[in-house]
Structures are given as C-alpha cells and as structure tokens.
C-alpha cells in the first residue's frame, strides 16, 4: 500500500516539475497591417498587366513557422487541367488596397512562366485531398 501511495505521490510531483519547465504562454496584439493566412489563401494572383494568372491555394511554412512559399494553382479551367507550383513569397506582392477594402496579390510573371514552372504535388509528406 505504501508503495502505491509513494508511486502516486512521485508521479504527481514529477508532473508538476514537467509543467513548471514549460514556458508561460505569450500573447500578441496583431497590428492593422498584419494579415492572417485565411485572407491570403484563395486570392487570385495578377500579373503586371492585371491579368489573372493563378490563385494562392496554400502557404508553406518552414520549421520555425516562417512563410517559406505559396502554392499557386495555375492553368486549367473550372479545376480541369490545373496544376500547382510553389513560389517564393518574395515573388508575390500581397497588400491591402484601402480604396477597394480588399487584399490583392500581384506577381512579376506571366501565365506561361507559371505553367512551365516545376510542378508541386501534395504527395507523401502531406495528407491532402489535393493531387
């Protein structure tokens, strides 16, 4: 009986130590010029001539949770024949237009450049319904 009480007491004490070593939560106050990924995913991407050349379908984060890239869907019509390409976030200018009260994404690329870019596939590492 004493062993059971000692085991429970020791387990409880060690649990407290584990919680004590965990850092306290940190909170932030997002600024008006910050944005959330839900406002980026789904944005149409336009070229310099204001032609629709793709759509942001996903955001890629590195292990430190910094944005590493955007997955764009390009080509196709009504979802048929579209493919995905991964682009560096510095290639896409995402900004809020105060006049339109909307987010906009622009890229210094053509539709043909995106269609000929290496294809990104959601295979292996990520579980997704996307192909």
Q: Alpha carbon of 54 to those of 15, 63, 103, 109: distances in Å?
A: 50, 26, 15, 10
75 neighbors 115 (Cβ within 8 angstroms)? yes
The per-residue pLDDT for 10 is: 45
What pLDDT is stored for residue 110 in this prediction?
A: 92
pLDDT at 123: 81
Residues lower than pLDDT 70 in the chain = 1-21, 79, 125-131
Q: Is the CATH code 2.30.30.240 the one for domain 37-115?
A: yes
The pTM of this model reads 0.70
Count of CB atoms within 10 A of residue 131's CB? 9
Using DSSP, state whether 77 is helix, strand or coil: strand
User: What are the pLDDT digits (tens) for 98-107?
Assistant: 888 888 999 9
């Amino acid at each position: 009986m004493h062993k059971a009480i000692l085991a429970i007491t020791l387990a409880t004490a060690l649990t407290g130590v584990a919680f004590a070593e965990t850092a306290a939560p940190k909170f932030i106050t997002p600024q008006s010029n910050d944005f959330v990924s839900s406002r980026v995913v789904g944005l149409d991407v336009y070229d310099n001539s204001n032609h629709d050349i793709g759509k942001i379908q996903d955001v890629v984060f590195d292990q430190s949770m910094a944005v590493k890239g955007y997955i764009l869907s390009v080509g196709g019509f009504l979802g048929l024949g579209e493919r995905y390409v991964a682009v560096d976030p510095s290639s896409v200018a995402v900004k809020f237009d105060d006049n339109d009260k909307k987010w906009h994404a622009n890229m210094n690329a053509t539709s043909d450049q995106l269609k000929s870019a290496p294809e990104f596939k959601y295979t292996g590492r990520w579980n997704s319904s996307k192909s």
